Amino acid sequence: MKLKILLPDRIFADIGGVSRIVAESVDGAFGLLPRRLDCAVALAPGILLYETEADGEVCVAVDQGVLVKAGAEVRVSVRNAMAGTDLGSLREAVDREFLALDAQEKTLRDALNKLEGTLVRRLAEFSHD
């Protein structure tokens, strides 16, 4: 298989000769082998593992995103990715960095919703005057 990991601003990795992929979806971990049927899966922040003959098992921490398998091509589109050799440190990075970003985004969305609500109320008051 050919694995391509895409970030919003660049191609993080483009690897050929991948014999298997293990990733974490929102419903749990799953594996891909070359003959698996085509699919699309929503990824949760976690560890993506792939194996090649040349490099062996390689771990990549990925943020939430989408994985699409079409034929022998597997494309992973995520907001952020981090390569590393130590699985423990990658897991800590996922917990610390990616999940913290999700919490910040939730706080920002809540603030924008409050601002929008206030604006709508004031516009309604203005139109009644």
Average pLDDT value for residue range 91-108: 69
Average pLDDT value for residue range 34-63: 91
Average pLDDT value for residue range 54-62: 89
More confident residue, 71 or 87: 71
Does residue 129 carry a pLDDT above 70? no
Looking at residue 8, its pLDDT comes to 93
Looking at residue 9, its pLDDT comes to 93
Convert the chain into a string of H (helix), E (strand) and C (coil): CEEEEECCCCEEEEECCEEEEEEEECCEEEEECCCCCCEEEEECCEEEEEEECCCEEEEEEECCEEEEEECCEEEEEECCEEEECCHHHHHHHHHHHHHHHHHHHHHHHHHHHHHHHHHHHHHHHHHHC
Does residue 109 carry a pLDDT above 80? no
Average pLDDT value for residue range 40-63: 90
More confident residue, 101 or 12: 12
Looking at residue 92, its pLDDT comes to 75
Domains observed in the chain: 2-128 (2.60.15.10)
pTM of the model: 0.71
Average pLDDT value for residue range 99-106: 66
